[in-house]
Structure 1
Amino acid sequence: MFDTVFGIPTHALVVHAVVVLAPLTALLLVLVAVSERLRARIGIALPLLATVSAISGFVAKESGESLERRVGESNLVEEHAELGDVLPIILIAVAVLTWVIWLVWRRTPRDVEAGAAKPSALLRVLLAVGVLAAIGLAVDVTLVGHSGAKAVWSGIGSQPAPSGGEGDDD
């Protein structure tokens, strides 16, 4: 199931979703934490996005393990696999956190005239944890992505370019 799609490794396709969705989730989580107005505008979109990110992360991990069996082990692949094992856990934790933040925020009484709510102590703590989680998620997805790029592209720059094509300096 996680091996190939139309002959292309599933991991190569799904990893792009994680590379886009995880940082977007982290960014929106920070915005939700710092602004009541943005919290209201973003609303349920953040927990939904975080959930899709977590699912994508799980599929990327499983398809990566399938791809690892195909390409064999190397130090770079092993480093990427070890880092990649942690990312779905972080994504699931962030998804759960965003749902809890959204639920607590929704249950916070609002001043009808002002339209704003004074955040409870619980919500303030959750939002602070959310900022830390967003930073951790951004760092982890960067490390995993970088190690994956190194595993794929290592040695490419040291190989001579084929002659006779575009870009020859001759």
Structure 2
Amino acid sequence: MFDTVLGLPLHPLVVHAVVVLAPLTALLTVMAVASTRLRERIGVALPVLATVTWVAAFVAEQSGEALEEAVGESALVREHAELGERLPLALLVVTVLTWAMWVLHRRASRAGDRPGRAARIVDVLAVLAVVVLTVLVVLVGHSGAEAVWSGTGA
């Protein structure tokens, strides 16, 4: 199911969605935390984007396992696979936090109140989570590129 699309390996196709959407999710999360006006403009689009990105990362992980079986295992492929297994988990954390941000800030806004302590804690956790996510995306992408361009993962 997660191996090919129209005869092409699914993994390199879906990986590019994660490479674009994860940093966009991170950027929008930081913007939403930094500015009430931007948070209101971004609205529910942020947690929806995070959810879509999480699904893409899950598909990338599953399709990567299928591709690994097809190309064989090397040290570089193994390193990439081990790092890649962490990405869906990191994105799940970001997804949960962005939904929590949206709910807590929306609730405060509707009540005409300032966001409470829980919203501020979630904001800080979300920023920390997207920093971890960004570093992980870079590490996973770099290790994947090394595996492909070294000739061992092609």
Short-chain TM bin: over 0.9
TM (norm. structure 1) is 0.86
Q: Percent identity?
A: 60
- Residue in 2 that maps onto 1:7: 7
- Alignment check: 8 A CA contact 2:11 2:60 kept: yes
Q: 1:77-105 CA deviation, whole Å, 9 max, x = no partner? A: 00000000000001111111100110011
Q: Is the 8 A contact 2:104 2:115 kept in 1?
A: no
Could you report, residue by residue, the CA deviation over 1:121-143 in whole angstroms, capped at 9, with x for unpaired residues? Answer: 11111111111011011000110
- Residues 22 and 138 of structure 1 are in contact (CA less than 8 Å); yes or no, is this contact kept in structure 2? yes
TM-score w.r.t. the length of structure 2 is: 0.95
Q: Structure 1 segments of 4 or more deviating over 2 A?
A: 109-112
Q: Is the 8 A contact 1:47 1:99 kept in 2?
A: yes
Gaps of 5+ in 1: 157-170
Shift in CA distance, 88/43, structure 1 to aligned 2, threshold 3 Å: same
Aligned residue identity for 1:32? A
- Residue 143 of structure 2 aligns with which residue? 147
Q: Could you tell me whether the CA contact under 8 Å between 1:110 and 1:118 is conserved in 2?
A: no
Which residue does 1:50 correspond to in 2?
A: 50
Separation of aligned partners in 2, 1:109 and 1:145: 38
Check 1:56–1:67 CA distance in 2 against 1; reply closer, same or farther (3 A cut).
same
Find the aligned partners of 2:11 and 2:110 in 1 and give their Cα distance: 45
Stretches of structure 2 lacking an aligned partner (at least 5 in a row): none
C-alpha change, 1:15 and 1:39, in structure 2 (3 Å) is same
CA distance in 2, matches of 1:119, 1:12: 41
Distance 1:5 1:121 in 2: 47
| Partner SS for 1:108 | helix
How many residue pairs get aligned? The number is: 152
Inter-partner Cα distance in structure 1 for 2:122 and 2:19: 25
Query: What's the RMSD between the two structures over aligned residues?
Result: 1.5
72-81 or 92-101, which moves further after superposition?
92-101
Deviations 1:15-46 (A, max 9, x none): 00000000100110100111101110000000
Q: 2:120 corresponds to which residue?
A: 124
| Equivalent runs, 1:42-81 vs 2, <5 Å | 42-81=42-81
